[in-house]
């Protein structure tokens, strides 16, 4: 099956992000518009290494991992927009983060990121994570662009 022009598969994601298992949290980008927005997803499986210690009797995907997945999607958008893999996108701040529902193994975490503004190498984003039609997390966050 051929990819649409705005789909990014895992091998290209790995060429853009420095993350690797178990910290690569984006499985596929389903759509993006350079400099504006990106949609991606992560399939949450029971095989995730943190489930052995994060409520093992009732596993819940950690909220901090949802925020990290949002930042990784934003990083992919940044790398595709800027076209420079000689930089890192690092968290610079998180505001207005809210966790509304638990994410559990078997869920597909859909991530929607919107670019808000850039000032002196700091990019600000709005992120919404959903499972099905439920918002499970939303946040505003900033990423700093730094040379390697």
State the catalytic residues: 54
Q: Identify the bridge partners of residue 52 per DSSP, sorted by sequence position.
A: none
Number of Cα atoms under 13 Å in the Cβ half of residue 114:
6
Cβ atoms within 10 Å, residue 112: 20
* 33 Cβ contact list (under 8 Å, min separation 6): 6
Tell me if residue 121 falls in helix, strand or coil: coil
| CA gyration radius, the chain | 15
124 CA to centre of own chain: 14
CB 127 within 8 A of CB 138: yes
Contact status, residue 146 vs residue 82, Cβ threshold 8 Å: no
């Amino acid at each position: 099956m051929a990819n649409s022009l705005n789909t990014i598969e895992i091998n290209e994601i790995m060429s853009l992000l420095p993350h690797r298992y178990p910290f690569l949290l984006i499985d596929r980008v389903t759509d993006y518009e350079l400099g504006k927005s990106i949609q991606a997803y992560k399939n949450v499986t029971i095989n995730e290494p943190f489930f052995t210690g994060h409520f093992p009797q009732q596993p819940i995907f950690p909220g901090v991992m949802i925020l990290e997945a949002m930042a990784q999607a934003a990083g992919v958008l940044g790398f595709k927009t800027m076209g420079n893999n000689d930089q890192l996108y690092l968290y610079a701040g998180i505001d207005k983060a809210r966790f509304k529902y638990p994410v559990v193994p078997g869920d597909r975490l859909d991530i929607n990121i919107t670019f808000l503004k850039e000032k002196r190498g700091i990019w600000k984003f709005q992120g919404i994570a959903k499972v099905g039609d439920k918002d499970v997390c939303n946040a505003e966050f900033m990423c700093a662009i730094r040379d390697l």
